[in-house]
A = this chain, B = another copy of it.
Amino acid sequence: MRATYATKPREQVSAVLRREKRYLSAAEIHAILRKSRTNVSLSTVYRTLDLLAGKGQASARVDERGETTFVVCDQSHHHHAVCNGCGKVEDVSCEAIESVAHALRSHHGFKLADHEMEFFGTCGACR
Measuring CB to CB, which residues of chain A are less than 8 angstroms from any residue of chain B? 62, 66, 68, 81, 83-84, 90, 92, 95-97, 99-100, 103-104, 108-124, 127
Contact = CB atoms under 8 A, between A and B. Distances in A.
A100 B115 contact: no
A92 B105 CA distance: 11
Contacts of A117: 100, 115-118
Task: Determine chain A's interface SS by DSSP, over half rule.
Answer: strand
Contacts of A114: 119-121
Contacts of A104: 81, 92, 119, 121
Contact of A81 (B68, B95, B108): B108
Contact of A120 (B95, B96, B113): B113
A114 B92 CA distance: 15
Contacts of A127: 109, 111
